[in-house]
Each structure stands twice: as structure tokens, then as C-alpha cells.
Structure 1
Amino acid sequence: MTTASNEDIRARLRTDRAALGAYVSDASIFRRVPRAVLEPRTRAEIRAGVRIAQEEGWPITVRGGGTSVAGNGIGEGLIIDTSRHFNRILEIDPEARTARIEPGVVCDALREAAAPHGLTYGPDPSTHSRCTVGGMIANNACGSHSLAWGTAADNVVELTVMRADGELVTLKRGGTSDPELDRALLRLRDENLALLRTTLGRFPRQVSGYGLHHLLPENGFDTAKAFAGSEGTLGIIVEAVVQLVPVPEATALAVLAFPTVFDAAAAAPLTRRNGVVTSEGMGGDLLDVLRISQGRDAGDILPGGVGDPRPAGGWLYCETTGETAEDARMRAEELVAEFDSHPQHRTVDAVIVSDPVEMRKLWRIRESAAGLVTRLPDGGEAWPNWEDSAVPPEQLADYLRDLYALLDEHGLRGIPFGHFGEGCVHIRISFELGTEDGLDVFRAFMSDAAATVAAHGGSLSGEHGDGRARSALLPHMYPPEALAAFAAFKTAFDPDCALNPGVLVDPDAVDVGIRPAPGQRSKEFVPVHALSRDRGSLVNAVNRCVGVGACRSDEGAMCPSFQITRDEVHSTRGRARILSEMFRGDLHPEGTGSEDVKDALDLCLSCRACASECPVNVDMATYKSEFLHQHYAGRRRPMAHYSMGWLPLTSRVLHLIPGAARAVNALLSIRPVEKAVMRLGGVDASRSMIRFSPRSFQSLSKSRRFRAEQQPTGSTSTSEQRVSRGTVVLWPDSFTNHLDANVAADAHAVLTALGYDVIVPRGFLCCGLTWHSTGQLARTQQVLARTLKSLDAWIDGRTPVVVLEPSCASMLTEEAPELLAADPRSHRLAAQVVTLGDVVARHVDDADWPFGELPIPALSQVHCHERSRRGHGGTGTTLARLGVAESQIETGCCGLAGNWGFEPGHADLSRSLAERELLPRIRELDGEAVVLADGYSCRTQIREGLADGARGADQKQGLHLAQLLRRALGTR
């Protein structure tokens, strides 16, 4: 093994306050401020980090994706994060059905690598898109398919582990590579044979404590499996060999709906049978939370939902397998038929799906539960800690009833879900952790819950480990002899207790270092936004982030900057943690004046992907605006905040002076002048300066010539008879009004052709977007108030207001009502805002449809704000009616993100984001294909990205839907 010097590694230790703040917590309620963070690339660097920790007297905590709900991925010493660099898949052996990996490999990455061989990695917790396999082994994670494939421990073949002294040891069935360690473990086993056989391993989800039963002779003295679930307290995994399993030939999903969650729990053991690989349960309140989070129709694909004549209160997800699709579906149908007429466990409804897309939609509801249930239906907070208790499956219904009774006794609420077929229950509970009285209730409940699960023969933890959440409660479950055996096991590996102290052996009390505890609000300020979902508190809003880490996934559009940098600080979760630390005031005593916090937020693009893709709708764009508003109060802002933030007003002034826009464009076409202007404006001179339309759309729309040109191709005169469909207001947003007036002109023609009387409001109207994104919130309010006054005649709650720029539509529908909450006009206007696609889609079945066919392919860059607000449906319907074959960019934000991509220091990351998918796919398009991009920023990014003369660049500039529809008018 190569070496790494202490000096080199010391230089790479992250000790800045932003990094420390990002790592203070995982997905638990606990907080520990580390001394340093190391992101190693090799074993040698891990060994050097261990040496430094020894020299400094720091404890060591190893961390993967940081998705642990038990607090076992945090510590007060050195954090070794394997996820960023130490994450190679070293070998896939299809014949042996094994994979050899480094611990930072993400679960889904391993599954994707194994897929070409017809194999997969069996354990699949709901965080499979971002949790690491090393972390799964350390916490003995299981997932929904554990009925078929067991726990992480069951799938371990061999581990190479670094001990606290830096020495390596190999663990596997039959012993270890260290004879002295073998002797200690054999002695421990032989002295406790009866205890290990009767107390441990009683049912599959008994994972509390150490898995010492794997050391028994009948279990092959399997030291690797015994190490699994040790939560980083014994050694650092540097390499793992894990078992792979064959992917089922075919699957189907039966979702069974029961009257109550207790009925679902009672039925779950009966679903444990050959060919059924999951038996996942949910409680009924989850649907209410889902709708609050994701919209009215969310979850309606579940059987027995709201409005169903026989509404359900609990569900089981039962995935069936077979050699053919027919076999899998037949098993699902047999299951549904059995419970449809079961004398004791009858369902109220059921659904069977075998289409992978439909199955994924249903599974997303279950997998989102861990984040969703951190908010109760009334908006109250709920927290993990009594998180994944488990009982023998046949005890589950009775245990759940007792758990609900215990919640009632302590005045608490929670929504259960979990692996019902194996007796494991996840629940988030409405603890009031921010008050001393609330902490008293928390402590009492935790003790009573531990006694309750023990009374049912259960386990404090059914996966994910005990951590700081429940280790201190192990005496409720295990006799003193078992606890002594655990301590001896810890000593054999880590005699100096350097690895993750406070967990399992000599544990911290359950109330030590709770993150949302009293004192978290010492630096809280009154936000400008109403934050109506969070009771007017930005601390409450930040506390939405429970840490499930969906922002660290490559699965969706969140979080763009993290997907490039892979830096925890640049994840939505990392930023939320840093803001939380700012409010606490320990790491950042200067509060909102902190430069570290500002820098941590700097790479947030305000794309709002988190507002929809985060299970609890963390809205980092809003939090960033609030921070910037406070940070720059009474101090000079960056020049870009003035040049870009005030662009709507300066553009208007420019267009009020006849010929000024043309003159400015002519000057800016001279590259040295353009560069000088950009430097003066404080924007990145490596980009191209924007250009202004010769005339504003408002000015253009007043001309007689414009009116004449609005008649559709084929009209006989401007007075041609047509059916009037009423009036619409065409919003003159600053981008289409001043920078791309042709788009607005085309939209006007399209709406006119549909039969609408189009009103173009006069005067200065603006949604305030550019002021909002730069944190100039007082000015944003003033601009919006003036806009509402100017538009007052049309704010009637009925007249459609067509907004062409997606970011402006988002501002008017989401931000304006929060910034001007007391003005009822802001709420009425929000209800009136529609997209052009929505308006056109209303007429796809009309006999007088004015558009011709456009049987061409189109690649859509759906604007990130449109995507986050789920607003592309009308456009998709319209394109389908035109005959356009649409495909979409899946990675979200184009990377320019309005003013963000022009600010100094952002250009390289901005271009990297465009090169993830957008620009490569455009370059591959054939000649007739078009690129649709309704966002002005998106079209700008595409134009700049293709300006290097790449093939097809001239033909593949981004088009607004209005431009494509105007073209379709000409084909009629």
C-alpha cells in the first residue's frame, strides 16, 4: 500500500466552518461539531488520517452518504467521508456472484454495474440512490426486498478493515487474518454460547447491539457478518466483497388497501411466501401529508384513496416475481383474490401494476415516506428517533396498537410505515425538541417505547443501528451478560475506544446533543417572506431538512451544484445544516454577517428543484434570498447585484429613449467594449453580453403594422370573422418585453389565432425576479406592489394572465403571495397565471384548431422553475396534438440560472452543468429536430454553448413554444 504523509493529509483536512457545519448531523436529530473532515482517495490517506487523529486525540467517525437516522454518522473528532472519492467498484465476478468494492460506492451505482450480468445487490433501503454500501454494511441496512434477500449482514462475504491503530485485518467466514483477534473472538464466543443462541438472532430484523450470533460454530464463525451492523465502532471498512443476487425475470406489484394500518400489519405475516419479495406497509395519514407536499392529486394512484367509496387506512406493497410476466402477475392476482375474500384480513381495495413506469410511481410514494412524514398533516414537525423498531412479524399488529396508545399517553403523533412483512416499523414523531418540557416528554417516551418493544420480544432497531438514538436503551432489551459481551467485542477490535465513541458501548444518553434543542434560535430573524407553511419562521423552514439526502442523488434535478462538485457543503442538506448552525450562533457568532455562510450558499443556483424534489420541500432559493437580504443590509453589494438585479428597470429606461437599444447593441458588438462593460457591471467577462430588442414588446404591440401582422396565415383581412374566446392578458415580463420581443409577438399571434382578445398592459410591470434572486427583498416587494396596482383592473380572479417566462410565472404564483401575503390581489393574481402551453392545450380538441401538423422531433429543456412547479403538462399536450415527438432533458437546470451564471466565479460550473446532458444531446440531434426552451436563460445558455461552431449549432438555437406554434400557424 502506498503511503501518504501526515503533512499532505493535514493540508487536505477540511476545518473551515462551512464544512464543519455541513457535517454536524446526518439524518438524525443529533448534533456533533467535528474537528476536521477528511475525504480520502486511498487506504494510505485513511491511514494518515487515523495517525493524525491519534496524535490530536480525536475520536474517529466514518461516514458514507450521511443518511443514518440514528446519529451514528457524526462525531466530535475526525470525520472520514468515503463517499466523494473512495468509491470505486473494483471487480464484478458474475460466476461467483460477488462484487469487490470500496465503501463509498452508492447502492444504486453497484446495482447498475451488476445489471449487465443479470445481477443486483439485494439490500435496497429507500435511500438507495445516495446511501453507500459501506454505510449499509456498518448499519446493517435492509430495505424493502429483505424478505427475499435479507439484511446487509446476510450479503457480506468478506471485509478488509482498518483498525484504530492503522493496521489492516481481513474478516470472513471461518475467522480473521489476525490470529490474536481470532483467539479473542473465539474465547468471547465460547464463554457465551448459551447467551448467543438464545438472546441474539431470534428473528431477521433483530439488529440491535452486535451480531455476535454469527460467531457461533453453526454459523461458520463468520467474522465479516458479525462486524456488519457495528456502526463504525470496531474498524474502518476499506474494502468489501458482497454477494450479488439474480435479478428476477419479471415482477408485478400488488398494492393491498386495508381499513386501518393495524389491519395491514395483521395481514403482513400472511404475505410471507414464495414469490413475494416485498411486504411494505404505510399508514393512512401519509396520503394527507403527500398531498400537502406534492399537490392535491398526489397519491391518487393508491387504491382506497380519498374519495374512494371504501377509503383505506393502511396499505401493503407486495411485489411478486416470476419467470414470465404472466407468472408474476398471476401471483399478484392470487394474493389480491385471497385477501379480497379473507375472513379475518379482508382488503377494501387493491391494484396490480406490472408496467415499470407505473410501479416506479407507486414505489416513490413509499420511498418518499421517510422525508414526507417529518411534516404532519397540520404542518407540525415530526422527528426520527424511535425510528425503526422491529418485532417478530406476528406481533406487529399488537405492537402497533400499543405504540399508538403510548403516543396518545404522551400527547404525541406519528405516521407509521415500514417493512411490515418483517415486523419493522418506521415512524416520525411530533416531539417538541425545542423546549425543556418537550425534552422531558421525549425522554419519557423513549424509555417507555423501549420497554414496550421489549415486551413484544422485539428489537430497538430493525435496521440502521442503535446509534446515539437508542444505544442507551439497550438494557431494556438485553440482560447485563449480553451488554458485557458487547463490550468485550468492542475491546477486541478497538481497546482504546477511538472509533465512534458514545455508540453501542458506553453510550451517550438519548438526550445528549440534540440538534433542534433549546438555543437553536439565538440568531433567528424575522423573514420578509410570510413562510406560511412554516409558521412564519425561517428556523422552522430550515428544520424541514431532516437529512434523508435526496439532494445527493443523481436520480433527478436536485441538487445541480452537488452533482458536479460532490461536496456535502454544496448539497441542499449541507446548506440547510449550515443555516441551522448560523441560527444557533456557535460556529457563526456573527449570524447573518457570516462570510462562510454566504460562500456556502454561493453555488446555490436558485433552481428550486429542491422545492419539489426534496421529500419535505426544502426551498433553498427562498432561504438564500432571505440570507442575502440580511447579509447585505447596510453594506455594499457585489456590483452584479446592481447590474443584473436592476436589469428590468435599466432595460425599460433604455427602451424609453428612441434608438438607444440599437446603439447599445452596436457598441456591445465590439468585443473590447463588451468586455469592458461586463467588467464594470461586475459580471463574468468570459460570457457574452445580452442584447436588447430594438423595441420593447409593449411599444411594438401598439403599432398598426404589428396588429396587421398578427393575423394568422391564410386570413383574408384584419376584420375576418372569428369566434371570440374572451380576453387574456399577455404579461410583458422583462425578458420577453426587452430582450426577446419576438417571442412575445409570436405568443400574441398564437393567442389571437385561437380567438382571444389579447391585452398587453402598459407601464412598468415586473415580477421582481432579479431583485429576489439577489436578495433585494424590500425592493422586490415594492416592485410587486407597483405591479399589482398597475394591473389592478385585470386582477379579478378570472381573466387568464399568460406568462411566457417560466421563472416569472413561478415568482407570481409562489413568491408574490408570500412576499405580499396581506394583499389579496397577490393571491388572486397567482390563481390567474397560466402558461401559453396551458392555454393552447385547452383547445386541442376544437374543430377550429388553427395549427397545422409539425411531425418533427423536439428536445425540451424544461425550465427548472417550470419543472419544480410541475407546469409542463399543457406544453406536453400541445406538442402531442401538433404531432411533435417530444423528449426532455432529465437533469434539470441548464446551468445559467438567470443572473447566477453571469456572476464571477460561476462560469466554469455553469458550463459543466450544461455539458451534463443538455449540450451533448443537442449536438446529436438530426437536421429537422428542434430544441424547445421557454426560459430566456436556457436559450442564452444554449446559444453560448453552441457558439464554438459545433455541428448543427446554427440550426439548433433554443425556441420558445410560442415560436414553434407561430410556425405551426404557417403550416396550416
Structure 2
Amino acid sequence: MEVDTQSASAPQPGRRGLHRVIDASCAPAEDRLDPSLAGGSHPDLRRAMEALLGEEQVHARASDLVRHASDASPYRLVPQVVVSPRTAEQVAAVLRHCAEHGLNATFRAGGTSLSGQSQCDGVLVDVRRHWSGMVVEEDGQTLRARPGTVLEHANAVLARHGRRLGPDPASARAACLGGVVANNAAGMRCRMERSAYATLRSATFVTASGTIIDTAAPDAEERFASAEPALAQGLMELRREVLEDPQLTDFLRRKYSIRNTTGYTMRALLDGSTPLEIFRRLLVGSEGTLAFIAEVVMDTLPIPPVLGLGWVHLPDAASAVELVTQVRELGAEAVEMMMSSSLVSAASRLPGAPADWATLPPDGVSLLVEFGGQDEAEIEALQEQMRRCAAPLSPLLPVILSTDPAVMALGWRVRSGLASDMALNKPVGAVNVNEDVCFPTDRLAEGVRDLSALLTHHGFNPQVVGHAAYGNMHFTLATHLATPEGRQQYSDFMEAFATLVVDKYQGSLKAEHGTGINMAPFVEREWGERVTGMMWRIKQLADPHGVLGRDVMLTKDPQVHLKRFKQDPLADPVIDGCVECGFCEPVCPSRNVTTTPRQRIALRREMARQEPDSPLTRALLDEYRYEAVETCAVDSSCAEACPYGIDTGAMMKSLRVAQASPTSQRTASWMSDHWGPVSAVARAAVTAADLVQQRVGTEPLALVTGALRRVASADLVPSVAGPMPRPAARKLPRTASQEACAVYFPACVNRIFGRDPGVQGGLGLSEALVSVSARAGRPVWIPDDVDGLCCGTPFGSKGYPDARDEMYVRMARALLAWSEEGRLPVVIDASSCAQALIQELPSHLPADLAERFAAVQVMDPTRWAAELLPTLEVSRRLDQVTVHTGCSARQLGQAADMLRICEALARAVHVPIAQACCGTAGDRGLLHPELVASATEQELADLGDSQAYVSSNRTCEMGLRQATGKPFESVVLLLEELTR
């Protein structure tokens, strides 16, 4: 699909408005971008990379460098240039150039690593953008995937085959498989035999010298030995040294009897018998410092047919650890340990949380236990066994295993929110450092006790949580790393921590988070001089020029972990709590075309670091308007994904308000007051466009609108990126208020746009909803005065709060009158409009009107259709229907209803992998069609071959139609058709 894009380098109107909000009011920060980089990367470096990769794959503007200078770690390194190679050969070319010119390079996919391993001050190689994709092989027994594939998406594909991958880190929604393997990530259910190390069957990699090897190829061993003779020979020499020393062999086996990601995975020298097999194993956990992993083939695991999740609340850690051992022997999939105080907090803030959690003592310990079984009877038997094991330990509440999906979802939500709870309590301006450790499981209780005491002694939060089944615990350090005092506090703790873990417990300083920069100075402390020396030999053999991951894994600088900390300036209350974890990125519709929420925040913070109105600040502002503000869908998908609930879209809305001129605000208010005529004009335009496309197709329309967009503004004139819908019927269906079961308010978008041009005949949406409601015995009534009214979203999302609030008041009064002060429910045929009236409108009304409006029940089309379903008879079922549950329906909690309706109408329901916001966002997709193309890129690859494609929002359906070529329409239309 050809799209019309707006050049980010063009003059950007509205910068003065943004300037009022973004101007820094404090002294420039120490970690700010060098002002000399206002023009971006050095021209020579930029040109060299463009010669290797092409201009589109080189990101050298100041904003490009800033937005990639953040990850989930406490460090901040600004790259000299960012590149997005498409092939292994291009990666090899970049690495050879770095070696020749003394540059270092780092590979970055999801950027969720916690120890600094996905940052660099050289060439940052983005291996997310062009590196996603997977193939299920051997009927699900193995998965072949590229490094930019999101782990959660991979598991969703495998779930169709009843399989999953072994590693399951808490960052699965954003972590990519390249990082999972490179970090040897683990997680809640990841036993040793399920780890990336154990389940990696083969890999394709690119060495620092540019050699490309597929380890599964028949001649791979010979090619490796021929292309990398020194590396192959050196690895075999190291293996001989280990095998000839029984004491060293025993030491390595003992170290890897528990989780350990400190330094290189030295057990590879024991487990691999050939140079290539040793090197393949060494790549797991190497954090991109030995080679680039371009593809993996991984063995998968069966998903238990039935899962049961339950809590055991105990008086202390010793009792909890005693029970951990027993439930592991029963075959528990996961055993997570946390302080009961976390559940006390959850009881007060999470809907559905058991009330008796509030009675738990603050010094109690709770275990979250998951079992898998073949059927419910097996889960019930395991529950009884767990009760018997727990009884002597005096559990504080009844022990129950539940198979209820809602109960299980709540349990994992509490577990995943633990880091959030700890992080949100950090002092203002502090930075979080997320650490993990592994104790031998038989000494876990005393290890946790000593670690908590050490944290308290050094002034940190003493809460320790984690994967108790494996002795792998987590804790968060919140300190002001920008100050000498904060750095000293952190340094003192790390020294004491290393002594405690290594000397007293012979544990692992890093269990699953990876060594990174954070633990590199302590590798020799844990492994000793001899083994660390072997690690340096491996590094020298694989990367003789020191190109890959400088100061990651191994370092000669004992203070490197105390340098280049990021300072998060107070930039905007909406985003000040962001820890830049990146969980928001996979769901952001603009992730592949401009910026992600994390990057919008990083850029916003950078402007707060800089001097006001400096050349660098102006350069960032010029790019920010399009890159961040105009291409944000403001759909709150980021808030859903964020562990802290941060809605970056809310910040973008406030910036749109700031850049809106007084004239545009007055124009918006005029349009709000005259919405009836405005809607009529819009419908007339759609009618005219439909006549044109029927006669000569859409290309002339695209040419005309493209010309107007270039003359006027791409943010004012809509594009025509594909077939436009037909106009809606001029008149709404006739209905009666007598005996009506609900008020039906047809959304203005559905009074303007009709059905897909590819659909021949059939009812329009309003006719279909009236018809199917009557058929179900629940007739609806459309008031005569709906013209001129709107949910207010078009004004609020564009930054016109006065016009929005004026419409809100008129809409609230009308709904109260139509519904007889709430006696009748109100049905709206667009989910986004319903969401605005349910979640946004009440807080913007005068207090007395808001109090009255609370009685009004508003339903979106999905909920109404689900209520109609039980009294309808399905006359025929389709073979398969593809479902896109839009942001609004999902945020209203209607995803389950959408699936239930479609399951009644079709034998198979297909939900595309990687489904997220479609990027249409009202008219945003018409103004910026590149946003829709970006948002639906992965969904397009998994649409399925269906007889119908459904959603519940007209503009979303239009955007999906233009991006995929499939006629997405309202689920109400399908329900009406198949129940005639």
C-alpha cells in the first residue's frame, strides 16, 4: 500500500506551543546529550553506514540517538549512530567496518535487559525492526524464529499446537527471542532442563569477523573450523584444560547446579564435544559479546491441559521455604514467594482481590503455586496433597487451588506487579536498580533473611521476592545515583552483597538478568582468577578487536558499574514514574514508523535535560511534533501494557492542547456547536468520494488529497490510502419509544460512513442493530434529535478540551433525557464512542450533572450483542471468522464477549498474533496512513483465511480494510445476518 508521509525535516508549525510546555526550568543535567550533536551523528560515520546499508536503515538524527539511549537498566549510553540492517550479510558488513575503524557495536532487540547490556556508545544495531518472524516445525515440537520475535507472540503461535517455549521471564510481552537466548533468561516455570541453554537445538550466527554459520548445516563444523581456525582450536584447548582438572570440572558442575548468568556459560566446555557445539552453547547467555544470533531453532514444551493456581500464606520465610521443597516434589510448575504485605496492598486496590488478604500480617510470607494436570480431578488431588503438606506449618488462610481463569489472572497480575509496587515507592528523582540472585535452595530461608538484613543496613527496601522453587530471588535498589552519596551507597551495598552471596552461600550474583555492565566488575569475585581468565581467552578468540559489547560481561574497569548512570529529570507528572522498561513498545501502533511510548518519554526527558532554546533543544522539538505528538494514536494501549499504568498518550494530548492556536480552538468550538451541519458535509464528501471511486477508482482521489496535503497540512487533510466505505443511509431507521428496551444512539461515524464497498446489498449498521434487537425481543429506540451530538472524542484527541467539554455537557443532558434518568440503558454502535462516554465524560461534567449521569448505563455494540445472543437462533455458521478486538472494546472488558459471539457464529475463531491497536484512532489513520501500515504489519501476516472479518469500531474497520485488503465490519452486522 502506498502511503503519503509527512517529512519530519519540514518546518513544523506549532513548535512555539510545544516550547511553552517543554522548556526546561532547571540547570542542564550532567547526562544530557552533547550539544554538539544537534546535527546528529558525525557525517563521516553516517555516510559510511549509509554506503553499507542504505539511507533508510541508518538513523543518525539527534532524536534517533536520544530515543535509543535508554533501556530498562540504570545506565545511559548514547550511541554514535543507530543502524537497522535487514540481513545477516549486512550485520557482517557493519561488524567488519567497526573492526576496521575501532568502533564498538551492540545488538538490541526488545531493550528489556536490566543490566546495561543493550546499550553502547558506539554503533547500536537494531535487530528488532527487520528481524521478527517464526515458523512452527515438526507439528509444534520446534520453533524456528528470528531474534526480533517477541516471546509472547511466539508462545501464542505455539499455543495453537498445545506447546510453549521453556523460558518465561516476566518481560515476555516485550522481550525478544534474541535477548532471551543471549541472556539465558529464565522465569517462573523455567527449570534447568527447560532453559534456553537446554532447549536451543541450533542457531545461525554472525561472528565478529563476519563469518555466518548455521550450526544445523551438514558442513557447519568444517566451515566453522575453516573460517575461524583460531577460535575453533582455542575452544578445544580450553575444553581439554577443564577435562584434565577434576577439581575444576566439579567446581563448574556445582556452579551450574543452580541458576547462574554471571559471566560466560562455562559449562559449554563440558557439554560440547566439538568446537562448533561448544561455541553454540557459549552464545547462550553471552549477551551479544561473542557473536550475533540471527536465527534460533528451539525445542518446545507441552502445555498442561489444565492449570491450577493457588496461594499459601505462612507466618515466616522459614515455613515458606520448607513448603517450597515439598510442592516442588509434587511437580509444581511454579512457586513464587513474596511478602504478604504485597497482598495487603492488592486487597485494597485490585478488583476481585480476596477481602481476607487485608488480614495478613505484614511480616508474613505468601507463596503463589501453579500446578499442571491432565484434568480437574488431578488438580483437586494436588490441592489435597498441598493442604496436607502445609497443615503442620500453620497456614494463615485456607489453601485453595483454582482453575478459574479470572482467579489465575488475578494471581499472576499480583505477581507481575511486585516490581511495580517496589519501584513506585522510590524517592523522587531516584533511579531503580533491579537485581537478582540465586541461593542454593537448601539455604534459601537464611539467604533471604541475610539479604533482607543487608538491604535494611544499607538503607534500601528489604523486600525480597522471586522464584523460590529455584532459589532465585529479586530485589530493587532505589537510590540517587546522580549524587556522590547515592553512588557510594550503591557501591558499598554491592561490595557487601558480593561477599554475602559468594563467600557465605556460594551462590550466583546473577541468576537470570544477565551480567551486563552492572555485574561485570564482580565476575572474577564469583568465578576466581583462573575461570575468569578462561572467559577472557574466549572473548579474545571470538572478538579479537573488542568490537562486541564493550565492558559488558567482562571489563578491565573495576568502577564501570558506577559510571554513566541515567538521571531521570522531572519532565511531566504523567510520565515521571517511567522506568523505561519497554513493556509498552510491542503494542504501540507507531513502533515501526516513528517512536514508541518509551522513546517519546526518553525524548521528553532529554529536552528537560537541555538548556532552553538551545540548538539541540530546537532540533529535538522540530522532530518531536511529528515523531511523537502527531503520530500517537492516544489509545491508551501503552497504559494497559505498562506495569505502572503510565499513559503516554495523555501526555501527547496535553502537548496537542499546547500547540493548538486560539484560532483553532475557536474553530473547534464552532464545529462542536454546529456538529449536525458539519456531519452532513462530511457525509456529502463521502458520497462524492464514493461516486468518484465507483467510476474511476481510488487513484484520482489519492492524487487530489495528496496534493492538498502537501499544500495545506498532512495533519488537516485526510488521505485516501485505499477503497473508501460507501456513505451511510441518509435517514436512520424508524423506531418507537414505546416498549423499547434500550435507547440506541448511532455514533456520528456510523451516520457518515456506511458499509464496505466490496459488500453487495445488505443492511446498514443502524438497520442491522435495530433489526437484530427486535428479533431478540429487545427492541431499541433511536431518538429524533441525535443529529448534532457526538461522544466528544474527535475534539479531545486533537487537543481541543473546550469543544470537547461543551459536547460532553450536551451529550450527558441528552442521554439523561432519552434514558429517563437512567431507566433505559443506552447502546452505542461504536466501542470507542461508548468508552468515551463511560470512562472520560463523567470526570469533565459539572458536579451536579455528573451525579445524575452516574445512573446512565452505556453499552458498546459488543456487550449489547452478547446480551442479545442467548435469545437468538443461529441459522447458519461460518467455517471461520477473524476477530480484531479494538483498543476500546478491550479496555471496556469486552474481549471475552467478542469471542463468545464469534464462537456462536463460526466453527473456528481466528485471533491474529500480535494483534494490538490498529493505529486508525478516529481520523488519525486517514491523516497518517503510515501509522496504520506500521500498526498492522505483523497482524497482516496472520490474518487467516476467513469468511468474515469483524471488529466493533467503524474507523478501525476502515483502517484494517485499507491495510489488509479484507472487509472488516461490525460484529453486529454478522450477528444479524446469521440469525435471520
Please give the range of the TM-score, normalised by the shorter of the 2 chains. 0.7 to 0.9
Asked if 1:611 is matched to 2:611, the reply is: no
Displacement, 1:456? 3.0
Offset of residue 422 of structure 1? 1.0
User: Aligned residue for 1:958?
Assistant: 970
Where does residue 722 of structure 1 map in the other structure?
none
Shift in alpha-carbon separation, 1:29–1:422, aligned structure 2, 3 A: same
Aligned match of 2:314 = 259
The aligned amino acid for 2:368 is L
Identity %: 22
Contact 1:628–1:775 (8 Å) recurs in 2: yes
User: Structure 1 365/665 Cα, relative in aligned 2: closer, same or farther at 3 Å?
Assistant: closer
Aligned to 1:230: 286
Distance 1:360 1:54, change over 3 A: farther
The structural deviation recorded for 1:591 is: 7.9
Contact in 1 for aligned 2:76/2:565 (Cα 8 Å) = yes
Point out which structure has higher relative CO (alpha carbons under 8 A, 6+ apart): 2
1:400 paired to 2:412:
no
The reply on whether 1:621 has 2:649 as its aligned counterpart is yes
Q: Structure 1 length normalisation: TM-score?
A: 0.73
Please state if 1:493 is matched with 2:509. Answer: no
Cα distance in 1 between the residues matched to 2:801 and 2:182: 46
- Superposition RMSD in Å: 5.6
Within 5 Å, which residues of 2 pair with 1:387-466? 387-413=435-461, 416-431=464-479, 441-454=489-502, 455-466=504-515
Distance 1:359 1:186, change over 3 A: farther
CA–CA distance in structure 2, aligned partners of residues 90 and 738 of structure 1 = 42
Within a 5 Å distance, the mapping from 1:942-953 to structure 2 comes to none
The question of 1:340 aligning with 2:358 is answered no
Structure 1 pair 592/942, CA: closer, same or farther in 2 (3 Å)?
Answer: closer
Give 1:573 shift.
Answer: 3.9
> What letter is aligned with 1:683?
P
Question: Hey, what does 2:40 align to over in structure 1?
Answer: none
In 2, are the aligned partners of 1:942 and 1:957 still within 8 Å (CA)?
no
Residue 775 to residue 447, structure 1, CA distance change in 2 (3 Å): farther
Letter in 2 for 1:616: Y
* Whole-angstrom CA distance in 1 between matches of 2:865 and 2:401: 31
Unpaired segments ≥5 residues, structure 2 = 1-47, 694-699, 709-715, 755-763
Q: Does 1:901 align with 2:925?
A: yes
Q: Does 1:151 align with 2:195?
A: yes
Q: CA deviation at 1:60?
A: 0.9
Q: Matched residue of 1:510: which SS? A: helix
Change (3 A) 1:735 1:311: farther
Deviations 1:613-637 (A, max 9, x none): 444334233232223333x355998
Cα distance, 1:453 vs structure 2: 2.9
8 Å Cα contact 1:667/1:674 also seen in 2: no
Contact 1:320-1:332 at 8 Å conserved across structures: no
Query: Where in structure 2 are the equivalents of 1:537-616 lying within 5 Å?
Result: 537-540=573-576, 543=578, 545-547=580-582, 549=583, 551-552=585-586, 558-562=587-591, 565=592, 569-585=594-610, 589-590=617-618, 593-596=621-624, 598-600=626-628, 602-616=630-644
Query: Which residue identity is paired with 1:180?
Result: A
Q: 2:794 aligns with which of 755, 770, 787?
A: 770
- The answer as to 2:180 corresponding to 1:180 is no
Whether contact under 8 Å (1:373, 1:382) holds in the other structure is no
Structure 1: distance between partners of 2:485 and 2:817: 52
* 1:683 equivalent in structure 2: 718
Q: Per-residue deviation at 1:67?
A: 2.3
- Aligned pairs for 1:211-360 within 5 A: 211-215=265-269, 222-238=278-294, 244=299, 247=302, 252-259=307-314, 262=317, 263-273=319-329, 275-287=331-343, 295-297=350-352, 305=357, 313-320=365-372, 325=375, 329=379, 332-333=382-383, 335-341=385-391, 343-344=392-393, 346=395, 348-352=397-401
Could you report, residue by residue, the CA deviation over 1:865-887 in whole angstroms, capped at 9, with x for unpaired residues?
A: 1312325678899999x999996
Structure 2 CA distance, aligned partners of 1:489 and 1:71? 21
- Kept in 2, the 8 Å contact 1:645–1:774? The answer is no
Q: Distance in 1 between matches of 2:938 and 2:198?
A: 42
Note the C-alpha offset of 1:424. 0.4
Q: Which amino acid aligns with 1:210?
A: Y
For 1:508-535, what per-residue CA distance to the aligned partner results, in whole angstroms no more than 9, with x for missing partners?
63342333x15x34xx36xxxxxxxxxx
Shift of 1:46: 1.3
- Residue 924 of structure 1: how far off its partner (Å): 0.4
How much has 1:123 moved relative to structure 2? 3.0
Q: Can you list the C-alpha shifts for 1:75-133, whole angstroms capped at 9, x where unaligned?
A: 111122333434566995799x8777654555567668888998764333334455344
- Match of residue 533 from structure 1: none
Matches within 5 A, 1:24-103: 24-86=69-131, 103=147
Letter in 2 for 1:35: Q
Q: 1:233 to 1:792 in 2, by over 3 A?
A: same
* 1:560-959 to 2 correspondences below 5 Å: 560-562=589-591, 565=592, 569-585=594-610, 589-590=617-618, 593-596=621-624, 598-600=626-628, 602-630=630-658, 632-634=659-661, 648-654=672-678, 670-671=691-692, 682-686=717-721, 688=724, 691=727, 694=730, 709-712=736-739, 734-735=748-749, 743=766, 766-777=790-801, 779-781=803-805, 783-784=807-808, 802=826, 804=828, 805-816=830-841, 820=844, 829=853, 832=856, 834-835=858-859, 862-871=885-894, 891=915, 893=917, 896-906=920-930, 909=933, 916=940, 924-925=947-948, 934-938=952-956, 958=970
Q: Structure 1, residues 793-842: CA drift from partner, whole Å, max 9, x if none?
A: 99999777736243233334444566x59968558746855326799799
**AA partner of residue 512 (structure 1):** K
Counterpart amino acid of residue 901 in structure 1:
G
**Is residue 815–residue 826 contact of structure 2 (8 Å, CA) maintained in 1?**
no
CA distance in 1, matches of 2:446, 2:845: 47
One-letter identity of the residue aligned with 2:284: A
The 2-side partners of 1:78 and 1:364 are apart by: 38
Distance 1:359 1:612 in 2: 19
AA matched with 2:126: D
Corresponding residue SS for 2:940 = coil
Matching residue's letter, 1:806: S
Task: Give distance in 2, aligned partners of 1:330 and 1:539.
Answer: 45
Rounded to whole Å, the distance in 2 between the matches of 1:663 and 1:393 is 72
Q: State the shift of 1:40 in Å.
A: 2.9
Question: Once the two structures are superposed, what CA deviation does each residue of 1:388-407 show, in whole Å capped at 9, x if it has no partner?
Answer: 21111122222223333344
Q: Distance in 1 between matches of 2:689 and 2:232?
A: 76
Query: Is the CA contact 2:437–2:509 (under 8 Å) kept in the aligned structure 1?
Result: yes
CA distance in 2, matches of 1:938, 1:169: 44
What amino acid is aligned across from residue 463 of structure 1 in structure 2?
E
Residues 281 and 418 in structure 1, CA contact (< 8 A), matched pair in contact too: yes
CA contact (8 A) 2:918 2:932 kept: no
Equivalent residue of 1:385, what SS?
Answer: strand
- Rounded to whole Å, the distance in 2 between the matches of 1:732 and 1:967 is 22
Amino acid at match of 2:112: T
Q: Secondary structure at the match of 1:594?
A: helix
Q: Counterpart of 2:800 in structure 1: which amino acid?
A: Q
Aligned residue type for 1:770: P
Deviations 1:735-780 (A, max 9, x none): 4678799849977997999799999989966543112222334544
Contact 1:102 1:239 in 2 (8 A): yes
SS in 2 for 1:257: strand
Q: The residue matched to 1:589 in structure 2 has which SS?
A: helix
Where do 1:197-208 residues align within 5 Å? 197-198=250-251, 201-202=254-255, 203-208=257-262
For the residue of structure 1 that corresponds to 2:399, the secondary structure is strand
Contact 1:561 1:909 in 2 (8 A): no
